[in-house]
Each structure stands twice: as structure tokens, then as C-alpha cells.
Amino acid sequence: MSTTLFIGLGHMGSPMATRHSREHRTAVFDLSADAVAQVVASGGATAVDALDHLPEGIDTVILMLPTSRHVEHTLLGAQGLLQALPSGSLVIDMGSSEPDSTRALATEASRHGIDYVDAPVSGGVPKADSGELAIMVGGTPAAVERALPHLKVLGSSILHVGPAGAGDAAKALNNLVSASNIAVASEALSIADRFGIDPATMTSVLNEATGRSQATELKFPRYILTGSFDSGFAYDLMLKDMTIAMGIADGLDTPVVDTVFAQLRSSRGRLGEKPDHTEIGRLYGLGATSQPPTQKETSK
């Protein structure tokens, strides 16, 4: 019977694979045996012990891996899945990958008679849990059509933005804006604090006025002003996405985001091991003493 192999069960892949297994026959694999055991225990998925012994019936692969290097390692070479999968299979890469790598992989997949779709996501762990991710899709119309039954289980917004690699480009640009929003709002809150306005009050002002963003509505109240810094999206993955976005800018004049990127990259050394991306706020002293807004103030 038709089975999907879901590879990469980290912060995002774990809740996504669990949701997927409720609607489609799903097998799961991760380098971490604990991650596999957890997903198997929480839903209807079965475990795959090693990728060189694929169970019968696998015709779709969903990848939720950290970077394009991990995706290439999994798909290419004599032991890679593009060799192992039957012709007519479908690969959906849902991680935030590099457009050039994705284009090359889609070309290589088509040589094996395999459809390839890049379908990176936005919304973080909360939306992965609720199945309300925003999904940006690249691929041929026919390949995207095949991917839809899988994507609909995971996301509430699915936008086909262009050919292979276009989803990845759109995702990187989204995260360039998203990270910049956190940095700009952090600076504004630190200025507010210096002026004598509490950062939580200033966050409420932004959320009632035109300075609001998903960062001010969710990330500041939940992860930054509380000092929890536990959104589940790593600072280094955010820098990876910004690097992808700046790479595709390809010489365009982008002085504002150049500055934000340079600042966030050079500040990385001031944070500890494996910081969360919301620790941008920590760079400005936020989360140490400030109080989060009340429930009413964050209810939007």
C-alpha cells in the first residue's frame, strides 16, 4: 500500500509527521532513535530503522531536515533515495533549503522519473502542532497537484509560487523580513525602556498601532519579554535563511537588510550554545526584567 516516508523529526518534523500519520500511511526516520520512538508513540506512524532498507510501498518522501546539505546527503549518491525510490515517486522537501540546490535536485529527480516539490513552511512549532502552517510551494503544476493531499494535512495556506526553488526563495525572503522585524522591534523597545516606557506597554502600543507584526503579537509576549526564549526555531537556522535570502539578492542594492544581516551575524558570538532566534531580544537586554503584557493586551 502507498506509504509516505517522513524524514527529519526535530522541532518541526515531529509534530508534522504525527499529523501526517493521522491521514496518510506514514513511516518515519531520523538519526535520533529517541525522536523516532516519540513520533511512533504519539500517533499512527511506523519506524524505519535505516534508509538502506526501505519497507515496501514507499512512493512519497517528505523531508524536514536542517539544511540543503542534509537533503543532498539523503537523496544523492549510490545509497541516496533518488536511486532507491521507484520511478513515479514524489519527493517533497519541506525544510528551508537553498533554491539552487533544490533546482539541481529536481533535475536529478526527474532523471529517475521522480517528481520533486519544495514546500517550506512558516508558523513555527505552534502552527506545526495545529496543522496551520503557511506553505510556499515550488515545482511543476503536476508535481504540486500530487503533493497537495499531503500539504493540506499540514498547512492552512498553500501558495504555489513558481517552479522548483521558488518556494525556497519565498521562504528565505519571509524569514529575512521576520528576523528584521524582531531586530527593529527590539531596538524600539530598548529605546522605549530608556525613555521610561515599559517594554510590555510599548509592545501593546505596537500591537494596537501600525508597528505590529507577528513578532510583536506572538514572539515578544510569549518568548522574549518572558525571557523563555524557547520558540523552537534556532538562531543559526534563522541566519541560514538570511544567508539564502542575501544570496539570491545577487548584487541588488539592499542597504537596510544588509545592515540587519551583518548585525545579527556578528552578534551571534554574544549568545551561548544553540541560541533560539528570539534571543535577538536578549541582545538588547529584553526578557531579563521586563514583564510580559497581560492576557488582554496580547489577545489579538
- Residue span binding ligand NAD (CB under 6 A) among the ranges 36-44, 60-68, 108-116, 190-198: 60-68
- Residues 15-44 touching ligand NAD, rule: CB under 6 A, are 29-32, 35
Distance separating alpha carbons of residues 230 and 222, to the nearest angstrom? 9
- Binding mask 208-237 vs ligand NAD (x if CB under 6 A, - otherwise)? ------------------------xx---x
Binder to ligand NAD among 66, 162, 227, 285 (CB under 6 A)?
66
Question: If binding is defined by CB under 6 A, does position 70 make contact with ligand NAD?
Answer: yes
Three-state DSSP state, 71:
helix
Distance separating alpha carbons of residues 224 and 241, to the nearest angstrom? 21
DSSP letters along 8-36, please? --STTHHHHHHHHHHHS-EEEE-S-HHHH
Question: If binding is defined by CB under 6 A, does position 155 make contact with ligand NAD?
Answer: no
In the complex, minimum distance from the CB of residue 104 to ligand NAD, in angstroms, rounded to a whole number: 17
Distance separating alpha carbons of residues 186 and 199, to the nearest angstrom? 9
- Residue span binding ligand NAD (CB under 6 A) among the ranges 9-17, 178-186, 189-197, 251-259: 9-17
Per the annotation, the verdict on 274 as an active-site residue is no
Question: If binding is defined by CB under 6 A, does position 10 make contact with ligand NAD?
Answer: yes
Question: If binding is defined by CB under 6 A, does position 293 make contact with ligand NAD?
Answer: no
Question: If binding is defined by CB under 6 A, does position 92 make contact with ligand NAD?
Answer: no
DSSP letters along 252-273, please? ---HHHHHHHHHHHHHGGGS-S
Three-state DSSP state, 79:
coil
- Residue span binding ligand NAD (CB under 6 A) among the ranges 10-18, 75-83, 103-111, 257-265: 10-18
Please answer whether residues 140 and 199 qualify as being in contact, where contact means their C-beta atoms are separated by less than 8 angstroms.
no
**Which of 31, 55, 28 lies closest to 44, judged by CA?**
28
Residue among 127, 171, 219, 240 flagged as catalytic: 171
- Cα angle, residue 140 at apex, residues 134 and 144 outer, rounded to 5°: 40
The residues carrying an active-site annotation are: 171
Where along the sequence are the contacts to ligand NAD (CB under 6 A)? 7-13, 29-32, 35, 64-66, 70, 73-74, 95-96, 121-122, 124-125, 232-233, 237, 241
